[in-house]
Amino acid sequence: MSLVVQGAALVSLVWSCIVFSVQSTGIYKLYRHHSAPHAKPVSPSLSHDEVPHITVIRPVKGLEAGLYECLVSTFRVAYPKAKLTIYLCVASTNDPAYPVLRQVVADFPGFDAKVLVEEDDPLLHGADGHVNNLGPNPKIRNMSRGYREAKGDVIWIVDCNVWLGTSSAGRMADKLYGFRPNGAKTAPYKFVHQLPLVVDIDPPRAAEEQMLLLGDADRPHAHTSIWDHGGGRLEEMFMATTHAKFYCGINTAGLAPCIVGKSNMFRKSHLDRFTDPSQNPVLSASDASRGRGLDFFSSYICEDHLIGDLIWRSKLPGFKNHGLVYGEVAIQPMSGTSVAAYIGRRVRWLRVRKWTVLLATLVEPGVESLVCCLHASFALTTHPWFHEWLGISQSWGTMGTIWVSGVFAWMLIDWCLTGKLHKFQSVEADENTPSFALGSCRPGGIKKRPFLQWLAAWVGRELLALPIWTWAVLLGATVNWRGQHFTVRMDMSVAETHGHPLLSLRTPTDTGSNTSRPHSQCKDRVD
């Protein structure tokens, strides 16, 4: 056997061992922290002056499954009302979600809560505003005013389709500030976040999310086949298996920033400082024209990763980098999502992160069950050590048997893990908890998936993983996000390919006209 083949077998062995180790770490943390409710958080019970003031920013686009329940969960967190500011942000009063936002605020009087409309933002449409004062990222444009008008120092960005547990605000603040029981303190974090999980509501209730992802709000959808409404089940499977294991494993190891934008908390003072080239040496002088805080990322579409990455790379003595709040889950209900919409979501995610974490994107197929077990079976039946010491036959038949056995074991582990996570045992339930957040272990909650249904979703998810990766990473650079089409550039900035021509901005490193600068004061606005 050639040294090249033996070397390849050794590489496959090392890779599969790394994947198994990260997964094992993630599974251990998930079982440890998601088996029972955690202790009450400390921060809500502190004296008035010690409780951090939190500004919650919830960007909204269109009607989502469970939208009302998700939004009102912000008002029901067990946190002092005087220390909570809530901004529900939407692009236009014509957005179908706008009446829901108004109703939510009206249903909870006494809160410091507002509906902020992007088309009323003075930075974009005021007397001294201009539509190009921010880049084309629709989510940043949506949230920019809420960030600029935040009260206190703590910013908590939560997607509109995420339901929050009653203790989530307190536990997030505890982790961010290092609060411990009995007045003790530990090292604070610069950034904290939650584990996202998806629940596919069955039977489907609405198709708004599917329409949004497909960018075709006028086409009716009839839920008559798996293709029409099976996307939610695939998303649910992905988030409770592969994503959950690696999300917890990587965050436990703390080797790299690993976050998604569902529920993230950080300090405004930190982000303002980190986005100022004069105060942050990791930035270049050309970044001075990109604005501060959230506005710094408006020309980029992968803002959640970029925010987390910049905070991670920016040094601040006495602070830890990122902290996952174990046991607290950000629950996203889905309904009526097609397989095409699921594929579109995964393609979009891969394409926007391709140039942000290129190496991680390129090796991603190797963490999936079919490919990773192929690496392991190849190594075990190729390297001479396993034949000499363990008697493993170096044959194709043995390699196939080991591969099938590995995939089968992987599947059983995922079956157990999905059942565990969907019990939502760490979620505190009360009379206001919606059915999709009660879990499978409480009356009125979600039903545990029959094994054959679960297996069909698992097999579908695993078989689609490699084709989706190939299409997303190797065969394109355009994405459809929030009803708009973008081209993702190699420097990670984006240009809108359809829509108003003023939003096709140059990269932030370009120089010249001030119209591309986040704080230019041109009055030639577009209302």
Structure token digits, residue 2: 């050639």
- Residue 444 exposed, middle or buried by CB count within 10 Å (0-12, 13-18, 19+): exposed
Using DSSP's 3-state secondary structure scheme, residue 250 falls into: helix
Question: At what angle are helices 396-421 and 3-33 packed, to 10 degrees?
Answer: 20
Asked whether the beta carbons of 376 and 404 are under 8 A apart, the reply is: no
How many other C-beta atoms are found inside a 10 Å radius of the C-beta of residue 385?
14
| Torsion sign over Cα 220, 222, 223, 227 | negative
- How many residues does this entry show for the chain? 527
How many other C-beta atoms are found inside a 10 Å radius of the C-beta of residue 141?
24
Beta-sheet strand order (sheet of 84-90): 112-117, 84-90, 54-60, 154-158, 263-267, 189-200, 320-334
Catalytic residues: 304
Return the closest-CA partner of residue 478 out of 503, 454, 502, 495: 495
CA distance 170 to 487: 39
Judging by DSSP bridges, how do beta strands 189-200 and 112-117 pair with one another?
A: unpaired
Asked whether the beta carbons of 184 and 42 are under 8 A apart, the reply is: no
CA distance 514 to 201: 48
CA distance 322 to 175: 10
| Torsion sign over Cα 61, 66, 68, 73 | negative
CA distance 266 to 44: 17
Beta-bridged to residue 85, according to DSSP, are 55, 112
Contacts of residue 57, defined as CB under 8 A and 6 or more positions apart, other chains included, come to: 87, 89, 143, 146, 147, 150, 155, 156, 157, 158
Rounded (5°) CA angle 315-317-320: 75
Structure token digits, residue 408: 């089968």
Judging by DSSP bridges, how do beta strands 154-158 and 54-60 pair with one another?
A: parallel
